[in-house]
Amino acid sequence: MKTKDLILITALNLFSERGYDGVSMRELAAAVGIKAASIYNHFSSKEEIFNSLLAEMQNRYEKIVHTVSIPTGTSKEAAIQYVGISEERLQQIAGELFLYFAKDEFAAPFRKMITSEQYRNSDAGDIFSQMFINGALEYQTELFKNLIEQGEFIDADPEIIALHFYSPIFLLLAKYDETREQNIMEKLYKHVSQFSKLYVKRCG
C-alpha cells in the first residue's frame, strides 16, 4: 500500500480511538513505521490529514449510495424500486446500512471519529448531520412518502415512519461500538420485522 494511503488509514483508526487532539504526529508516524517529519512529504499539515479523511469518506459514501440502498439526500426516483416492498427488502436495506457503518474497514472507524469530533470541528459536525441524521432521515422520508402514496404503507406521517425505521439502526450502531455483541443483528432483524408488522399494509 502507498505510504500516503497508509497514513490515512492509520490516522483514521488512531483518531477514532483517541480523538484528533489525542494523537500526535509522532505517534501516527510510529504506527505507520516512519518518522514524523516524513509525513510532511505527503501532507502539508495534521489538519490536512483530517480533511482528507472527510473527503475520502464522502467519496466512498457517494459510491456506495449509487450502488446499494444506503440513504442519501432526497431522491424521488430511487423509491420506485421499492414498489411491492417486502419485509425481506426492508431487512436488506437495514442490514446493509447497519453492516456498512458497523464493520466496513473505513466507514466504521470513520463513524467513531466523526462522532467524537462533531462538536469540535464544524465540517465534521456538518458531515455527521448529513450522513447520520438529517440526510438519512430526509431520504427515507421521501421513500416512505412514496410507499404511502402507492398504498404499500399505512397512512401516517412519513417523517415519523422514517424516524421509526432509522433511529433504532442509529442507536444499535452506538450500542455495537461498546458491546460488539453477536446478537445485535438479531435485534436489528426483530426491529425491522416489528416495524414491518406495524406499518406495511396487509394485502388481500
**Where on the chain is the footprint of DNA (CB under 7 A)?**
2-3, 23-27, 29, 33-38, 40-42, 44-47
Find cell 455483541 and name the residue: 181
State the Cα–Cα distance between residues 157 and 107, nearest whole angstrom. 31
Among 18, 87, 95, 104, binds a second copy (CB under 8 A): 18
CA distance 30 to 125: 29
Could you tell me which residues come within 8 angstroms of residue 74 by beta carbon, excluding any fewer than 6 positions away? 138, 139, 142
- Over the window 152 to 181, marking each residue x when it contacts a second copy by CB under 8 A and - when it does not, the resulting string is ----xx-xx--xx-xxx-xxx-xx-xxx--
Distance between CA atoms of residues 83 and 79, nearest Å: 8
Taking each helix axis from N to C end, the angle separating 3-18 and 107-117, rounded to the nearest 10 degrees, works out to 50
Residue 26 interacting with a second copy (CB under 8 A):
no
59 binds, among a second copy, DNA, none (CB under 5 to 8 A by kind): none
Give the x-and-dash track for 107-146 against a second copy (CB under 8 A).
-----x--xxxxxx----x--xx--xxx------------
Give the Cα separation of 88 and 110 in Å (integer): 28
* Footprint of a second copy (CB under 8 A): 16-22, 112, 115-120, 125, 128-129, 132-134, 156-157, 159-160, 163-164, 166-168, 170-172, 174-175, 177-179, 187, 190-191, 194-195, 198
